[in-house]
Amino acid sequence: MYQTAVCIALIIACGNTATAQEGKTNQAHVGLIYPLSTNGKTAPADTNNLSLHLISGISQQENNFLLAGVAGVVKGTAYGTMISGVYNRVGGNSAGVLAAGVLNQVKQDARGIQLAGLTNITAQSAGFQAAGLINKSGDAHTQVAGLINIAKRVKGVQVAGLINIAEQSDYPIGLLNIIQDGELSLGITVDEAGGSILAFRSGGNVLYGIIGLGYQFKHHEARYQLEGGIGAHLIATKAFRMSTELVSAAMTNFEDGVYGKQSLRALGGWHITPYVELIAGPTFNHLLFDNDQIDIRNGRYLWQSNGDDLSNGFYIGGILGLQFSL
């Protein structure tokens, strides 16, 4: 580890020294690791149309294509495509495709596509970001992350496995969406079977996420319920709004198996006060369970199918409740 750290420090020091030299434009830059390349010690000041590096490479500007086994570092602007096994770093702007096994970092504006196995970090992003874990940007267009998206103003869609965070984002898709100009609410509803749900809704002015916990008073076999989903505000006025929600839930008593329930809801919302909303509407539901479990609907379906192992059916229901703005 000590020898590796010393080598990296020497490479960075040499690179910073070389930036004072006048650079040139090369058709191709091929190397192992700085300064062991066809551009030698002047590499940090040079512009290249094509760069191929077994371990890592450095340049002032890339015009078309860079491929590095570990890391690609561009001190100025990167055009075209950069592909690195671990890390891409652009000190200025990027316009094109950045693909890295772990991290893409752009100090200024990133236009185009950024794909990272773990994290994208940009000052501004006018394109598409996709990361296995985290996207972090200033203003952004579209972000897709396995765990977290962080941005200021988002023009397009944010899709996260867990959390979206932004100052402004009308189309976040995640279980938790912390949007500064959006809304957070806590609601309690009762369905047609007497089941109650305490749900947290969070999102922007259009899309929002739903996560809820429930208790079924009527059905012992499906007593506890956990649900998650996505909703959309279709019509919104000062006193009334119409929303639709798509929710998937698991219901169980932790002894007799799990019932799967998917619901499409059409909800009307009436503001009783600026912070309290009455919500109500019909639901279209699908119930799935093992054949050895009790049918908690007692055959009351619009359509039902009994297979060798599973039974499922569709039915109409409804919910009614109150929602409180946080």
SS (H, E, C) the chain: CHHHHHHHHHHHHHHHHHCCCCCCEECCEEEEECCEECCHHHHHHCEEEEEEECCEEEECEEEEEEEECCEEEECCCEEEEEEECCEEEECCCEEEEEEECCEEEEEEEEEEEEEECCEEEEEEECCEEEECCEEECCCECEEEECCEEECCEEEEEEEECCEEEECEEEEEECCEEEECCCEEEEEEEEECCCEEEEEEEEECCCEEEEEEEEEECCCHHHCEEEEEEEEEEEEECCCEEEEEEEEEEEEECCCCCEEEEEEEEEEEEEEEECCEEEEEEEEEEEEEEECCCCCCCCCCCCEEEECCCEEEEEEEEEEEEEEEEC
What is the pTM assigned to this prediction?
A: 0.86
Res 256: pLDDT: 83
Res 13: pLDDT: 41
Which whole number is the average pLDDT over 90-118? 97
Res 251: pLDDT: 96
Which whole number is the average pLDDT over 204-213? 97
Tell me the Ramachandran region of residue 298: left when phi exceeds 0, alpha when psi lies from -120 to 50, beta otherwise: left
Res 218: pLDDT: 85
Cα torsion 157, 163, 166, 168 to 10°: value is: 50
Question: Under a CB-based contact definition with an 8 Å cutoff, are residues 155 and 169 in contact?
Answer: no
Q: Tell me the one-letter amino acid at 228.
A: G
Which whole number is the average pLDDT over 105-122? 97
Q: Per this entry, what is the length of the chain?
A: 326
pLDDT grade for 12, boundaries at 50, 70 and 90: very low
pLDDT grade for 21, boundaries at 50, 70 and 90: low
Q: How far apart are CA 80 and CA 102, in angstroms?
A: 19
Q: Which residues contact 121 (CB under 8 A, 6 or more apart)?
A: 103, 104, 105, 106, 136, 137
Q: What are the tens digits of pLDDT across the range 79-101?
A: 999 999 999 999 999 999 999 99
Res 297: pLDDT: 92
How much of the chain exceeds pLDDT 70, in percent?
93
Res 270: pLDDT: 96
Given a cut of 60, whether residue 178 has pLDDT beyond it is: yes
Given a cut of 50, whether residue 4 has pLDDT beyond it is: no
Q: Which residues contact 60 (CB under 8 A, 6 or more apart)?
A: 19, 23, 44, 45, 46, 47, 74, 75, 76
Q: Which of 118, 115, 120, 90 is nearest to 102 (CA)?
A: 118
Res 17: pLDDT: 46
Cα 303 to chain centroid, rounded:
36
Q: How far apart are CA 79 and CA 66, in angstroms?
A: 10
What is the average pLDDT value for the chain, to the nearest integer? 92
Cα 285 to chain centroid, rounded:
27
Q: How far apart are CA 82 and CA 78, in angstroms?
A: 8
Given a cut of 80, whether residue 20 has pLDDT beyond it is: no
Given a cut of 70, whether residue 6 has pLDDT beyond it is: no
Given a cut of 70, whether residue 7 has pLDDT beyond it is: no
Q: Which two tokens stand for residue 84?
A: 């690195």
Res 220: pLDDT: 86
Given a cut of 50, whether residue 171 has pLDDT beyond it is: yes
Rg (CA), the chain: 27
Q: What are the tens digits of pLDDT across the range 253-308?
A: 998 889 999 999 999 999 999 999 999 999 999 999 999 999 999 999 999 999 88
Q: Which domains does the chain have, with CATH numbers?
A: 2-179 (no CATH), 186-325 (2.40.160)
Given a cut of 50, whether residue 226 has pLDDT beyond it is: yes
